[in-house]
Structure formats: C-alpha cells, structure tokens
Amino acid sequence: MGKTSAGNFFEDFSLGQVIRHATPRTITSGDVALYSALYGTRFAVQSADTFAQDIGYARAPVDDLLVFHVVFGKTVPDISLNAVANLGYAGGRFLAPVYPGDTLTAVSEVIGLRENSNGQSGVVYVRSTGFNQDGTEVLDYVRWVMVRKRDPKAPVLETHVPTLPAALAPDALGNAVPALDVENWRFELSGSPYRFSDYSIGERIDHVDGMTVEEAEHMVATRLYQNTAKVHFNQYTEGAGRFGRRLIYGGHVISIARALSFNGLANAFHVAGINGGRHVAPLFAGLTVFAWSEVLDAQEISGREDVGALRLRTIATKDQPCAGLPAKTGDDYDPSVILDLDYWVLIPR
C-alpha cells in the first residue's frame, strides 16, 4: 500500500505544520452552471454578468460557497480523511472576488492540537487559506476536526487550543466586494425591495421552501469540489456502518440553506464571513431541507457607503418546515435541526 495515501492520523500533525494541498483547480463557467443547477441559486450578482457589471464587478463572480467548497475539498485528503467528526468553523473570511478562469489552490496551517482523553483520537485545528493563480488570498477560515489516531499508544507531544474569534468584526468584511454603484442596483431584477435598513436585529425569517436531496445530487456536488471524504460516496462500506447509508457533505447543506434563504434575503448577495457553524446532525438522501434565519446583528462597515453587513444565524432542518422556527430548547437542539450557521452577509444600503 506504499503509494496509496491513507491520509494523516492525529499523531501525524504538529503545531505550526504547513501543508500545501493538491489539486489546483481552475473554476470555469461550467462549474458555475453545475453549482447553480445543484442548488437553484437566484442571487442576481452571481447569476448575471450584466447585473454584476452594472454595479461594479468585472463580471459575475463565482458563488462564495462554491469557492469555500473547492478550497475545503482540497484540504480533505490531508486533514480529514480519518476524521470522526467535523466539529466547527470560525473566522472564515472571503478576501478577494473569484471569477471563472481563476485557479484555486489551498494551504493549511495546523494551529491547534488536543488529544482526547480516551487516547483514540484528537482535535486538529487548521487555518486553511485559498489562493488564486496570482497568489492572492481569496478565502481563509479555521476549522477543527476530530481525527483518529493510527496508534492509540503514540505519544502526543503538543497540546494547544487556539483562541478563536466568536465573530468577525464588521470592518474585516467586504474585501471580496469592489466598491459598488448601488444606485445601479435594480431591485426589481434582484427579486426583493429590501435593503440593509429594512432588516432589524432580532428579525426572524422563515424561508418557506423545502428542497429534497437525492444521492446522485450530493455525490455530483461533492465530486465537483474534489472532496474525497469516503462517507459520502461508498454505499458498500457505509451500508454496513453506523447509519446504514451515505452521509451528505455538510457543505451541501450549507449551500441548500443559502439558496433557500433567497426567499427573504434576496439582496444579501455576498457571504462575507463565517463566524461559526455546526453540523448538528447528519442528512441523508430522500429527506427535505428547510431553513430559517435570524438577524443577529446589523452593522455598517467603516469607509463603505455602498453595503452594510447583516450577521445571520441560519438554521436548516430535515423533514421539518420552519414556520415554528425550530432551534434549541436549553442545550438540546430540536431533533429536526441539521445545521446551525453564524455568518455575515453584505446587502446594499
């Protein structure tokens, strides 16, 4: 098995380690079309070159979450092939626009390590950064993941739990968005009249619509991102596993929830930052995803008159419409909840 990669185990990681990931990927209009057809996104900026150019983009930028998934996918063979669980995200920033034709690469730095008390596994914290062909950072984010040890007896030399921000500061947002001519934003074309000032902190929005997921769809999506996590693809193995079936990539759920959120947030055109996120429960094919959002914060960005930032908490459920805004009771999530995501979006002022 010498030439086959079995991925890294917990004891293979060291603090400060920098891993340059394979495989570079040129994002094309083909990837964009497929992403659009997988989720049915309707945000005008990403859908139409004309709309994007009218407000100041060079052309329609690639959907932020497609960029995220492609960068994330590159990290999987090195970081999480032997993961037990993907535990969380923090400090995700979109730093430059990505256009079709750009080529993405990814690098991760190990910023934290903590062995679990059972000695069977440990938590690895990495900051992963995506670059375009010019070496410009387009995205960085921290994730932490529980990774199995190859050998439970392997000594663990280092322990460090990094301090992570609870949320990005508003002024850290917006680097991926050029200065916009908001007067050219045509609200009849974008699908909603509501702008920054129309949203208030504490406002809750049921996104109403539901989307059922099929095996062929989530596998096509996950392969589009060159994400190789075995649990998504291999029914032979997973059929004998804990759930008896393939798990759906958590990022697929994020993209479904984002697409559903158009109904209520049509002008929130840009995911500017990911403060935190938790995949509360697994999703399986045949189930239907619903979502609702709460406005956690609304902030202006220093030096920008064009856009404001809404901090959203979006909750996605399976087989549970969200009119009742299902979330947590005490520490316990409603059993329908699969995703609890805290992120910033930008919206015209």
**Is position 184 an interface residue for a second copy (rule: CB under 8 A)?**
no
Nearer to a second copy, 136 or 234 (CB): 234
**Is position 288 an interface residue for a second copy (rule: CB under 8 A)?**
yes
DSSP collapsed to 3 states, 324-338: CCCCEECCEECCCEE
Interface residue with a second copy among 14, 26, 159, 184 (CB under 8 A) is 26
* Residues of this chain, 101-120, that bind a second copy according to CB under 8 A: 101, 103, 105
**Is position 44 an interface residue for a second copy (rule: CB under 8 A)?**
yes
Nearer to a second copy, 36 or 299 (CB): 36
Written as one string, the DSSP assignment of 92-130 is EEE-S---TT-EEEEEEEEEEEEE-TTSSEEEEEEEEEE
**Is position 38 an interface residue for a second copy (rule: CB under 8 A)?**
yes
158 SS3 class? coil
Nearer to a second copy, 166 or 216 (CB): 216
* Residues of this chain, 123-142, that bind a second copy according to CB under 8 A: 133
Between CA 203 and CA 221 the distance in angstroms is 32
* Residues of this chain, 254-283, that bind a second copy according to CB under 8 A: 263-266
| Burial group, residue 262, by CB count within 10 angstroms (0-12, 13-18, 19+) | buried
**Is position 4 an interface residue for a second copy (rule: CB under 8 A)?**
yes
Contact present, 119 and 149 (Cβ < 8 Å): yes
Nearer to a second copy, 84 or 208 (CB): 208
Piece in contact with a second copy (CB under 8 A), picked from 115-123, 148-156, 212-220, 296-304: 212-220
Nearer to a second copy, 77 or 348 (CB): 77
Residue 25 half-sphere exposure toward CB, CA atoms < 13 A: 26
For a second copy, what does the binding mask look like between residues 213 and 252, x meaning CB under 8 A?
Answer: -xxxx-xxxxxx-x-x-x--xxxxx--------x------
Q: Is the peptide bond before 23 cis (omega within 30 degrees of 0)?
A: yes
For residue 268, list its beta bridge partners: none
272 SS3 class? strand
Q: How far apart are the first and last CA of the chain?
A: 57
**Minimum separation from the CB atom of position 262 to a second copy (A):** 9
**Minimum separation from the CB atom of position 219 to a second copy (A):** 7
Interface residue with a second copy among 88, 321, 334, 349 (CB under 8 A) is 321
Tell me, rounded to whole angstroms, the distance of Cα 327 from its chain centroid. Answer: 20
**Is position 29 an interface residue for a second copy (rule: CB under 8 A)?**
yes
